[in-house]
Structure 1
Amino acid sequence: MFIHVFEEHSSVIHVLFSAHLISLNVVIAIRLQVPRLALRRRLSALKGGVSRPATWRHRPISFLCYILSVSALRPLASRVTLYRSFPTRLLSRAWGRLNGVELPTWLRKPIYSLYIWTFGVNMQEAAVEDLHHYRNLGEFFRRRLKPAVRPLCASSSDGRILHFGRVKNSEVEQVKGVTYSLENFLGPQNRRDSSSSSSFRDLLLLSPDSDLFHVVVYLAPGDYHCFHSPTDWKVDLRRHFPGSLMSVNPGVARWIKELFCLNERVVLTGQWQHGFFSLTAVGATNVGSIRIYFDQELQTNMPRYSKGSFHDRSYITNKVLKKGEAMGEFNLGSTIVLLFEAPKDFSFNLHPGQRIRVGEGLGSL
């Protein structure tokens, strides 16, 4: 009986980690580039020191290297197209279900300890440090923080700063040098005072003395997976975009233009003391769901939703969020995009690649 239970749960854990390794391998495959000249040099090096060329059937390792190198020379566009054809939504739903499989108590500590070691998780910040408390991987990913472990200031989530700055020409950078359309990202806006000559960026601004700013925060698998309100603000609208669930790893974001517009996401828009404010939770591979605590109707990554559409829910009484209030959570990791209006003299206290935690400041007025 003991052996049967061990084999059953070992297979489950193997599937869980295999799914994550598959996503990592996809990232590595997309980033792989072997210049033609380098390939020729490597093939020449394989022949060095041999007076008579050996046939390929006597050189299986060399033949394998040749095949891998030739496949790496395929155009980047072909590799991106191949990656985009992967059933990432189906795989992510399967991962979400596996996250809910309850682990036996004796197996929880070794599994979670391996994850903690792999991704550098700081369990001293967790509200519950006892690993036996978390019944499944989903609960462990969504662990809460101790009440006073972070100051209440500006950052909405743990993660790494990918990009930040002013929004120019209604385009936003997802990583350096790669942009996406603000209109495609947020969807159409209904403003009574809009004119045909107004840019999409101008439609969002409530004051001519303000400017529009953005911050992109990437959540790695080892980060805290809940996100909080970065300031006091009112949410007017929730907009859900069903879409792909490709990896949001910075390496992938460099190759796929408008990745954030293609992926499934939940956009919350409203106002704060300086005007327009928006927080968007962007889905990613193996993110089984995006949950918003005050919106029980929201269900993400569902088969009934088709790509290219969006679904709105208006909050008639305006949902008021307080600074530091828990807003929602991811399964595994993803990206948070903040877009906000502020006085033109607003300045960021950040640098690209910086690690940031919930509650840390983003800038100053």
Structure 2
Amino acid sequence: MKFWGSHRVPIFPHLYYVSKRPHGFTSFIKRLQTGTQAQASCNGGSSSSRGGSFMVPGATAATLLMLGALHARRLYDDKKVEEAREKGIESEFQPDVKASFLRLLPLCTISRCWGYLACAEIPVWLRPHVYRAWAQAFHSNLEEAALPLEGYASLREFFVRTLKEGCRPIDPDTQCLVSPVDGTVLRYGELKGAGAMIEQVKGFSYSVSSLLGASPFLPMVAEVDTDGERSEPENSSTENSKKSWWRVSLASPKCWDPLPACPVKGLFYCVIYLNPGDYHRIHSPADWNILVRRHFSGHLFPMNERATRTIRNLYIENERVVLEGLWPEGFMAIAAVGATNIGSIELLIEPELRTNQPRKKLLQAEPPEERLYEPEGVGMMLKKGDEVAAFNMGSTVVLVFQAPVVNKDSSSEFKFCIRRGDKIRVGEALGRWQDSSSN
């Protein structure tokens, strides 16, 4: 679904109507109070005996209390995880019943409904109050917004707001890879060993091939000899790729099961989580040439801390859009992973792409939708810092890339300049490399 051009339907129509009349809101409240009191009198009782004109019904109050308790429990759990992380204790993968229950919920449909609601137009007088409340709850910096708060007609427009010029300066160092998003660094490192596994959480990992899909550009080799020298690159046919593409099961309906392979030396990854209050646009981390786009339809599980600890194959089961290409140092790919209420991923370079569309089949054992950007072999050239895509709320971005390492052909070495848990912004350095012989 695409929200870029939202349908401005007034939300809270009664409030919207009375706000257009002089003293309309005050008179509306008075009429509501009078009507409630009259109804109570007709029923043989006063308004006070009924618990007040605006008393919340018992069922609604119970629901609010339950939701409040669940939210408080979640905050308590997150605090415990953060305290353990500060002590050097990392949480481990522990699947639970709640994670299994999520598979029974129509999260894609719920996300589409949320999308329609987020596109509804909010009365001008109410917008600053709604957006300030959101900013306070999720720690958004409203001073960076390019427009005054009254200029964002809907929650969706506020989510994908642009920033004032100069708010995200791009590191000009040519030997530097910058962050494509604002967010929190969850994982990073070099991909090594058979399968090139990315750690989702301690005790559970997933392969980079499953995340990105079958790719002729991904620098993998079929096997490694005892001296660590790589053999000839793997050349699997398209027919074999299609036959082994999906491993279909109830537990993991869409997981590509590739042939065992090892990454070449110098293949790295970085996982960045976007909070709901973060800036939601994705920018180019370097000068690169995008050759292929893949769209994986799938689930829309949450992507928070608890979900990563309890849901298997979270990143490769959720709907995602993968952009893949080349930069001066080799391979590069960005995977924008959707989540609950964030089913819409929009590409600036391909505005016609639609995500989180209704599906006719529960399980679709088919390869992802793929587009080769024309002209073939050239693709789309982007400069470091150029805008690429946007989430209609927060989610997760996984960056996979080649970078220089010390070997017989090069004396340069890439090093990350971040740590787990760091807050990072668009344009700030993820890592640098320099000629080690000059040190």
Provide the TM-score with structure 2 as the length reference.
0.64
- Aligned AA (1:148): G
- Aligned AA (1:347): K
Tell me the SS of whatever aligns to 1:362.
strand
**Deviation digits for residues 54-82 of structure 1 (CA, Å, limit 9, x no counterpart):** xxxxxxxxxxxxxxxxxxxxx94433211
Alpha carbons of structure 1 residues 77 and 121: separation in structure 2 relative to 1, 3 Å? closer
Map of 2:393 onto structure 1: 332
Query: Bigger radius of gyration, 1 or 2?
Result: 2
| Cα pair 2:293 2:324 within 8 Å, conserved | yes
Q: CA deviation at 1:143?
A: 0.5
| Cα pair 1:26 1:83 within 8 Å, conserved | no
Alpha carbons of structure 1 residues 145 and 176: separation in structure 2 relative to 1, 3 Å? farther
| Cα pair 1:97 1:288 within 8 Å, conserved | no
Alpha carbons of structure 1 residues 211 and 112: separation in structure 2 relative to 1, 3 Å? same
Percent identity of equivalent pairs: 41
Matched, 1:264 2:290: no
Q: CA deviation at 1:199?
A: 4.7
Tell me the SS of whatever aligns to 1:251.
helix
Tell me the SS of whatever aligns to 2:267.
strand
Tell me the SS of whatever aligns to 2:311.
coil
Q: CA deviation at 1:343?
A: 1.5
Tell me the SS of whatever aligns to 1:295.
coil
Matched, 1:156 2:180: yes
Matched, 1:286 2:341: yes
Map of 1:181 onto structure 2: 207
Alpha carbons of structure 1 residues 145 and 105: separation in structure 2 relative to 1, 3 Å? same
- The structure carrying a bigger helix percent of its residues is 1
Tell me the SS of whatever aligns to 1:216.
strand
Q: In 2, Cα distance between the equivalents of 1:362 and 1:27? A: 33
Q: In 2, Cα distance between the equivalents of 1:8 and 1:176? A: 54
Q: CA deviation at 1:146?
A: 1.4
Map of 2:234 onto structure 1: 194
Q: CA deviation at 1:259?
A: 0.3
- Aligned AA (2:190): R
| Cα pair 2:95 2:312 within 8 Å, conserved | no
Alpha carbons of structure 1 residues 308 and 264: separation in structure 2 relative to 1, 3 Å? farther
Map of 1:125 onto structure 2: 144
Matched, 1:298 2:353: yes
Q: In 2, Cα distance between the equivalents of 1:199 and 1:96? A: 40
- Aligned AA (2:278): D
Tell me the SS of whatever aligns to 1:312.
strand
Alpha carbons of structure 1 residues 193 and 178: separation in structure 2 relative to 1, 3 Å? closer
Q: Which runs of 5+ in 2 are unaligned?
A: 1-11, 19-59, 79-93, 172-177, 218-231, 237-257, 406-412, 434-439
Provide the TM-score with structure 1 as the length reference.
0.76
Map of 1:6 onto structure 2: 15
What RMSD in Å do the two structures reach over aligned CA positions? 2.9
Q: Once structures 1 and 2 are overlaid, which stretch shifts more, 308-317 or 328-337? A: 308-317
**Deviation digits for residues 122-164 of structure 1 (CA, Å, limit 9, x no counterpart):** 1111211x11000000000011011211121311000000010
Alpha carbons of structure 1 residues 296 and 201: separation in structure 2 relative to 1, 3 Å? farther
Map of 2:245 onto structure 1: none
Of the three residues 346, 360, 364, the one matched with 2:414 is 346
Map of 1:313 onto structure 2: 371
Q: CA deviation at 1:106?
A: 1.1
- Aligned AA (1:174): Q
Map of 1:146 onto structure 2: 164
- Aligned AA (1:84): R
| Cα pair 1:27 1:247 within 8 Å, conserved | no
Q: CA deviation at 1:177?
A: 3.9
Of the three residues 179, 184, 191, the one matched with 1:167 is 191
- Aligned AA (2:210): N
Map of 1:44 onto structure 2: none
Map of 1:104 onto structure 2: 123
Map of 1:54 onto structure 2: none
Q: How many residues are treated as equivalent by the alignment?
A: 303
